[in-house]
Amino acid sequence: MRERLPKVGQVFAAGEIDYHMFQTLVYRTDLITDPQVLARVDAELALRVRGWPSMTRGSWPPR
């Protein structure tokens, strides 16, 4: 996970998202094989995911 989504991993390590959200993001990006595309997705998710509600405490998907 550190290698695939390092920026999202930093958000998780900082406690800004819960494990379930992190696990879901990793799972849903698993089919991305192009390293450049994955890096862009990682960066974009790391910026956006901070504002999403917890999957255990809020509504999903984010609006």
pLDDT in tens, the chain (63 residues): 668 999 999 999 999 999 999 999 999 999 999 999 999 999 999 999 987 776 555 555 555
Q: Per the domain annotation, does 46 fall within a domain?
A: yes
| Within-domain flag for 63 | no
Report if residue 59 sits inside a domain: no
Q: Is 60 contained in some domain?
A: no
Whether this model's pTM surpasses 0.85? no
Indicate whether 17 belongs to any domain. yes
In this structure, is residue 57 part of a structural domain?
A: no
56 is a domain residue: no
Encode 9-33: b = buried (16+ Cβ within 10 Å), e = exposed.
bebbeeebbeeebbeebeeebeebe
Q: Is residue 1, in this structure, part of any structural domain at all?
A: no
What pLDDT sits at residue 55? 59
Task: Report the pLDDT value the prediction gives residue 1, as an integer from 0 to 100.
Answer: 63
pLDDT for res 50: 85
Please tell me the total count of domains within the chain: 1
Where in the sequence is the domain holding 15, given as residue range(s)? Answer: 6-51
Q: Give the pLDDT of residue 60.
A: 54
